[in-house]
């Protein structure tokens, strides 16, 4: 397929807007499939994973390749739910155009806004499809007004629908109106066409002069002017469809995609590097290879499947290529064209097109494949960072053996997930964008790798410290025949400033304790820091001063003094008004101005302290300090109070004292959790 006849297009929009159904209707309309699957039946081409069928929504990007009127359109059907935003980010890296799908009854929603903003940031030309026009309460004119109010007057209808809701039976083109326009919409078509011609003329000075002088523009001139404006992002088409069951307007949607969205030749060029310098590329199948892996799927039977976009050159089956990120050769086996859960074998993927390779040994998402002689690389994908964290445990011993491998494989498939171990709590952690993403990951792990894993809220890494100076004395004396054990220490415990850590000093004089035993005392005190007296958390921010003691010429030993100092510390801490410390995180929250009040009110309810607010162009950045225990589920809480329009980042900041009124409950909860674990 010649690159000028290719279209790489992302289907974007809120969950439930009908992206998958629109793709399904496009496949059926172009006879790529013999029957049109439905979400309710769980038999669509792009939602083929069992987890998608179960939920009735997409959880990963799927490639739908359609050949229509000598052109090939690669639709990337993306998930609409926030937890799977990484799939959308990856898809937008490899397309030249985007389709923002709205459900006609509900109109513009948070998913539409997010999709628009992401396209704006990436400089991707786009168009709107008002889908589900046959549904109750569907109204095209209301949706157009909604779109224009939200995104600007450059969003213009390219069609007028014949009826709304149950009366919807077709669309009439404004670009190239038919001769027999129904009388009831003739005035609407005429007015819309004038507005469209005016917008087309604005994109071309010559057309503008002729239009303003009253000259009639030809259909071809209008189409050319409109396409120029769409490619420049100065014009955004609005279409109407009903994808299921009659696929009304879908043929016209495909025609508009072919005619007005950019090909790899005239779309925005991707950034390419040769070393650290910018490099140019030509969309030429004969040039040296430059391809980018934007998605990886893990399968226990097929192995790893790497989905890639070729920007320059060609990839052939049974060949060899160079991974410039890993600086090693990769053997290319069979090439595929993914079609839902199946793959069609192909011999070659050429410049501009998208395909897949199985079983690459070291290549992961974000890697560049090229020729070794002309080593180049594309910048890696900047994935959204998740802060929703769960502790993960195996359901059985057999699952423990599989857990690490399975989690590493699923993280390879979804780079927005992270697998780590918390040294403070000794828990294995999985971190992502939200609970739905982690639930899906665990379901996939069980299905694909046979590991049954459970999750729970992670432990909070509390600390303990002391609040007053106290003296402690302990004499360790034991006689059991032969040499006995004797160690006698007097230790003063002093609180330190927060984050000053532990300090050990000695004030022993006159040989009361021989010098060779002093390190044993320090070792014993240090060992005792591992477990405080309140709830068994590590002790921090205190100074231990050995100021006196005694020894026995025969029975004293390093071990005796170590034991004595451990007990002296425990005894002293209990007398020094110990308190609990909790980790406090810094939250940076970005939210539309309209939701600032709700977010701040929610933070106040979480014992948060607002550090600052910076309004900027309709959104506010809120900086706050909040105890970690209060924001372990903040991904859900922020989504709720901001209706999905807020985002945040989180980082550990410091430890602070747990309020006295909350301390008993924390201690009780910790002790109960330990008892449950020991059962």
Q: What would the pLDDT profile of 4-24 be if each residue is shown by its tens digit?
A: 999 999 999 998 899 999 999
With b for 16 or more beta-carbon neighbours within 10 A and e for fewer, the 483-517 pattern comes to eebbbbbbbbbebeeeeeeeebebebeeeebeeeb
- Cβ-defined contacts of 141-144 (< 8 Å, 24+): 142/107, 143/102, 143/104, 143/107, 143/108, 143/238, 144/238
pLDDT at 481: 65
Residues 628 and 502 in one domain: no
Interhelix angle for 186-202 vs 205-212, to 10°?
130
Neighbours of 218 (CB within 10 A): 8
14 within domain boundaries: yes
Q: Choose among 172, 110, 166, 177: nearest CA to 138.
A: 166
Structurally, the chain folds into a number of domains equal to 5
Residues 542 and 399 in one domain: no
Q: How far apart are CA 671 and CA 674, in angstroms?
A: 5
587 CA to centre of own chain: 18
509 within domain boundaries: yes
Tokens representing 662 are: 């909350």
Residue-wise pLDDT tens digits, 432-448: 999 999 999 999 999 98
Q: How far apart are CA 524 and CA 528, in angstroms?
A: 6
pLDDT at 300: 67
Mean pLDDT of 637-653: 94
Q: How far apart are CA 127 and CA 240, in angstroms?
A: 11
Residues 416 and 336 in one domain: no
Query: Can you give the residue range of the structural domain that contains 31?
Result: 3-177+234-260
Residues 130 and 34 in one domain: yes
Q: Choose among 94, 99, 122, 124: nearest CA to 308.
A: 94
Tokens representing 22 are: 């629109």
Last residue of one domain, picked from the residues 544, 577, 610? 577
223 within domain boundaries: no
Residues 242 and 128 in one domain: yes
209 within domain boundaries: no
- Is there a contact between 3 and 71 (Cβ–Cβ < 8 Å)? no
Q: Is the pLDDT of residue 310 over 90?
A: yes
Rg (CA), the chain: 33
Mean pLDDT of 622-647: 95
pLDDT at 453: 95
Q: Is the pLDDT of residue 308 over 70?
A: yes
Last residue of one domain, picked from the residues 577, 604, 624? 577
Residues 314 and 332 in one domain: yes
**Beta strand pairing call for 619-627 and 609-616:** antiparallel
Tokens representing 643 are: 């209706």
Q: How far apart are CA 502 and CA 449, in angstroms?
A: 45
Residue-wise pLDDT tens digits, 34-66: 888 888 888 888 888 888 888 888 889 999 999
662 within domain boundaries: no
Residues 89 and 14 in one domain: yes
Last residue of one domain, picked from the residues 456, 479, 504? 456
676 within domain boundaries: no
Q: Is the pLDDT of residue 302 over 70?
A: no
pLDDT at 460: 94
- Is there a contact between 538 and 569 (Cβ–Cβ < 8 Å)? no
Q: What is the pTM of this model?
A: 0.90
- Is there a contact between 409 and 351 (Cβ–Cβ < 8 Å)? no
Q: Choose among 61, 47, 6, 59: nearest CA to 295.
A: 61
Residues recorded for the chain: 679
């Amino acid at each position: 397929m010649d690159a000028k006849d290719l279209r790489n297009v992302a289907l974007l929009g809120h969950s439930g807007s009908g992206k998958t159904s629109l793709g399904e209707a496009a496949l059926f309309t172009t006879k790529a499939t013999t029957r049109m699957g439905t979400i309710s039946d769980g038999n669509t081409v792009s939602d083929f994973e069992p987890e998608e069928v179960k939920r009735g929504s997409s959880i990963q990007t799927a490639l739908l390749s359609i050949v229509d009127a000598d052109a090939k359109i690669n639709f990337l059907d993306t998930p609409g739910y926030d937890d799977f935003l990484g799939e959308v980010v990856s898809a937008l890296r490899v397309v030249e155009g985007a389709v923002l799908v709205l459900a006609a009854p509900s109109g513009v929603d948070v998913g539409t806004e997010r999709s628009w903003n992401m396209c704006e940031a990436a400089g991707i030309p786009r168009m709107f499809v008002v889908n589900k026009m046959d549904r109750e309460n569907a109204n095209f004119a209301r949706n157009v007004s909604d779109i224009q109010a939200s995104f600007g007057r450059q969003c213009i209808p390219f069609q007028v629908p014949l009826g709304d809701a149950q009366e919807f039976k077709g669309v009439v083109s404004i670009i190239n109106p038919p001769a027999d326009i129904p009388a009831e919409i003739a005035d609407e078509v005429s007015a819309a066409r004038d507005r469209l011609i005016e917008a087309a003329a604005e994109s071309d000075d010559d057309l503008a002069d002729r239009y303003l002088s009253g000259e009639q523009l030809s259909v071809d001139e209008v189409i050319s002017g409109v396409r120029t404006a769409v490619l420049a992002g100065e014009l955004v088409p609005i279409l109407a469809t009903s994808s299921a069951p009659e696929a009304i307007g879908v043929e016209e949607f495909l025609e508009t995609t072919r005619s007005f969205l950019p090909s790899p030749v005239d779309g925005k060029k991707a950034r390419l590097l040769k070393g650290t310098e910018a490099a140019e590329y030509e969309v030429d199948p004969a040039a040296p290879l430059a391809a980018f892996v934007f998605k990886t799927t893990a399968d226990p039977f097929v192995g790893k499947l790497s989905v890639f976009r070729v920007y320059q050159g060609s990839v052939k089956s049974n060949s060899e290529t160079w991974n410039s990120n890993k600086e090693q050769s990769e053997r290319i086996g069979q090439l595929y064209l993914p079609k839902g859960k199946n793959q069609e074998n192909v011999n070659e993927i050429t410049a501009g097109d998208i395909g897949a390779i199985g079983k690459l040994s070291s290549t992961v998402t974000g890697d560049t494949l090229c020729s070794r002689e002309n080593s180049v690389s594309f910048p890696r994908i900047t994935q959204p960072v998740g802060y929703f964290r769960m502790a993960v445990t195996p359901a059985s011993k057999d699952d423990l053996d599989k857990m690490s491998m399975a989690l590493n494989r699923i993280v390879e498939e979804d780079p927005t997930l992270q697998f780590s171990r918390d040294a403070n709590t000794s828990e294995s952690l999985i971190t992502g964008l939200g609970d739905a993403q982690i639930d899906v990951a665990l379901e996939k792990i069980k299905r694909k790798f046979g590991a049954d894993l459970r999750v729970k809220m992670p432990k909070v890494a509390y600390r303990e410290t002391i609040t007053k100076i106290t003296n402690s004395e302990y004499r360790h004396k034991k006689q059991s025949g032969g040499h006995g054990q004797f160690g006698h220490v007097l230790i003063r415990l002093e609180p330190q400033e927060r984050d000053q850590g532990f300090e050990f000093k000695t004030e022993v004089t006159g040989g009361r304790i021989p010098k060779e035993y002093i390190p044993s005392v320090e070792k014993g005190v240090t060992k005792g820091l591992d477990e405080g007296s309140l709830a068994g958390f590590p002790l921090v921010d205190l100074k231990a001063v050995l100021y006196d003691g005694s020894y026995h010429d025969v029975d004293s030993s390093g071990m005796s003094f170590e034991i004595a100092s451990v007990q002296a510390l425990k005894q002293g801490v209990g007398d020094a008004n110990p308190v609990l410390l909790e980790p406090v995180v810094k939250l940076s929250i970005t939210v539309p101005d309209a939701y600032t009040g709700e977010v701040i009110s929610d933070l106040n309810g979480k014992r948060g302290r607002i550090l600052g607010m910076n309004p900027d162009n309709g959104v506010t950045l809120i900086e706050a300090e909040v105890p970690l225990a209060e924001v372990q589920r903040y991904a859900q809480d922020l989504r709720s109070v901001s209706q999905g329009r807020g985002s945040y980042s989180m980082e550990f900041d410091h430890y602070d004292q747990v309020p006295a009124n909350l301390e008993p409950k924390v201690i009780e909860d910790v002790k109960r959790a330990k008892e449950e674990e020991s059962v």
